[in-house]
């Protein structure tokens, strides 16, 4: 009798644990990268259907507008995109799925995925990357977004946070910070993919270093849903250096499958099965994972707010003393830093102007330290189609793009 009661009790506990697992599965999924639970109200089939439906609308719009897609945009560039994509996709966590890269005509430096099995790349990006390794870095980053289920994780987090009455979900600064952390994760995963696929893992850092030189950070202008260029460059270089031991130039690492599970960036967790404690672990893991993601986003939100306030305070202490056209396309400006403290480093000045209904930004990097009470020089190199005299006739303003306390 005692044996029967014991067996009956074990079976009851197993059924309860299986039920808990089903509850966890309804609101979350096992992260393909780390193995921990992450929020998601949609299973993979639903993710593909919803994500692909959106991209197919984009494709229909492009065709309707007469722009075409893929080879119709640029045959050589599309073949290049497919070649690079195929190699990166083969080493990804979703290599078993059939994906399709889509090339559309758009001059912006951009690419995106929507959680399905498409990756959309703009022609402007194809023309801007310097080599296949840089293209691979962008492609790998976008695949990583879907691998980590960022689109549906963000949507589920927003829904559940709103249901619990939290005010965080309604703040644009919080939403930007949550996305910011997803972008950092996609960068790390994507850089590992590049190394495993035989593409230089430092290519991503070169992209963001170049972007910082050309565009600055625009730290004080708006909330950041992506890491600013300088920080993105530094972190990409750190990750690239860490995974370069897996890099075999132009060759897929033969151990790539095992390295997806365990590498210098993460070791995938193995959860218990449903009925053997896996249900309770999954439910607790889901709650813990959601809490950690929520708190991480709040901390990033606070960090961004503090940095933006600092930059704006410094900006208020700057006084433009002189503007000189050193050359037709080179504007020299002299500024007085009127604050009593602190000394500054990494100062980047910016000009924002409106030209032909477009808002354009140009930046000038200031070398060395800027001490309180000091006059410093910022030189703006303008494009060939815009002279200093023409610039002066355009509506616009100067601003402090970024600065760090020393």
Q: Cα(256)–Cα(361) distance, rounded to whole angstroms?
A: 42
Position 284 confidence tier, pLDDT thresholds 50, 70, 90: low
HEC letters along 258-282: HHHHECCCCECCCCCCCCCCHHHHH
What is the reported pLDDT for 286? 64
Position 12 confidence tier, pLDDT thresholds 50, 70, 90: low
State the Cα angle at 259 between 244 and 51, rounded to 5°: 100
Asked if residues 27 and 39 have their Cβ atoms less than 8 Å apart, the reply is: yes
What is the reported pLDDT for 313? 95
Distance of CA 99 to CAs 48, 85, 89, 220, 229, Å?
10, 9, 8, 38, 29
| Nearest of 331, 322, 323, 313 to residue 403 by alpha carbon | 313
Q: Map tokens 């959309």 to a residue.
A: 120
Position 166 confidence tier, pLDDT thresholds 50, 70, 90: low
Single pTM value for the model? 0.88
Close Cβ partners of 319 (under 8 Å, ≥ 6 residues apart): 335, 336, 338
Close Cβ partners of 302 (under 8 Å, ≥ 6 residues apart): none
Domains defined along the chain, listed by start? 13-307 (no CATH), 317-405 (2.60.40)
User: How many other C-beta atoms lie within 10 A of the C-beta of residue 374?
Assistant: 13
User: For the chain, what is the mean pLDDT?
Assistant: 88
- What's the sign of the alpha-carbon dihedral 205, 211, 214, 216? negative
Q: Cα(50)–Cα(54) distance, rounded to whole angstroms?
A: 7
| Structure confidence by residue, pLDDT tens digits, 43-72 | 889 999 999 999 999 999 999 999 999 999
Q: Cα(244)–Cα(202) distance, rounded to whole angstroms?
A: 8
Q: Which helix (H) or strand (E) holds 405?
A: strand 396-405
Residue 222 is given by DSSP the state S
The whole-angstrom distance between residue 136's C-alpha and the CA centroid of its chain comes to: 15
Asked if residues 376 and 334 have their Cβ atoms less than 8 Å apart, the reply is: yes
Pairing of strands 37-39, 28-30: antiparallel
Residue 370 is given by DSSP the state B
Distance of CA 310 to CAs 71, 174, 227, 365, Å?
48, 19, 17, 18
What is the reported pLDDT for 214? 95
| Nearest of 144, 279, 274 to residue 204 by alpha carbon | 144
| Nearest of 192, 199, 274, 271 to residue 236 by alpha carbon | 192
């Amino acid at each position: 009798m005692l044996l029967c009661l014991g067996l009956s009790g074990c079976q009851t506990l197993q059924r309860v644990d299986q039920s808990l697992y089903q509850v966890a599965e309804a609101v979350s999924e096992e992260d393909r990268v780390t193995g921990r639970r992450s929020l998601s109200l949609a299973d993979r089939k639903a993710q593909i259907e919803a994500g692909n439906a959106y991209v197919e609308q984009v494709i229909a719009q492009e065709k309707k507008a007469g722009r075409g897609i893929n080879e119709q945009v640029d045959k050589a560039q599309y073949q290049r995109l497919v070649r690079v994509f195929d190699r990166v996709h083969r080493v990804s966590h979703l290599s078993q799925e059939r994906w399709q890269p889509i090339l559309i005509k758009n001059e912006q430096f951009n690419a995106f995925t929507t959680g399905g099995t498409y990756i959309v790349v703009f022609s402007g990006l194809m023309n801007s990357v310097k080599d296949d390794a840089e293209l691979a870095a962008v492609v790998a980053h976008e695949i990583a977004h879907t691998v980590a289920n960022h689109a549906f994780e963000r949507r589920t987090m927003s829904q559940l946070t709103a249901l619990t009455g939290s005010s965080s979900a309604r703040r644009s600064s919080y939403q930007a910070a949550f996305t910011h952390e997803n972008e950092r994760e996609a960068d790390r995963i994507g850089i590992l993919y590049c190394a495993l696929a035989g593409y230089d893992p430092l290519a991503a850092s070169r992209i963001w270093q170049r972007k910082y030189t050309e565009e600055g950070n625009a730290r004080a202008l708006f909330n950041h849903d992506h890491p600013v260029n300088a920080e993105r460059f530094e972190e990409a270089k750190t990750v690239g250096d860490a995974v370069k031991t897996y890099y075999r130039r132009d060759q897929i690492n033969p151990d790539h499958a095992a390295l997806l599970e365990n590498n210098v960036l993460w070791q995938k967790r193995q959860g218990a099965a449903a009925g053997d404690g896996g249900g309770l672990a999954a439910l607790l893991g889901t709650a813990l994972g959601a809490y950690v993601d929520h708190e991480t986003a709040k901390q990033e939100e606070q960090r961004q707010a503090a940095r933006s306030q600092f930059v704006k305070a410094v900006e208020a202490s700057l006084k433009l003393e002189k503007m000189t056209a050193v050359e037709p396309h080179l504007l020299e400006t002299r500024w007085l830093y009127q604050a009593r403290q602190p000394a500054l480093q990494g100062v980047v000045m910016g000009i924002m102007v409106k030209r032909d209904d477009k808002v354009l930004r140009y930046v000038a990097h200031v070398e060395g330290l800027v001490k309180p009470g000091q006059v410093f020089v910022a030189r703006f190199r303008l494009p060939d189609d815009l002279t200093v005299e023409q610039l002066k006739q355009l509506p616009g303003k100067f601003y402090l793009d970024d600065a760090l306390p020393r």
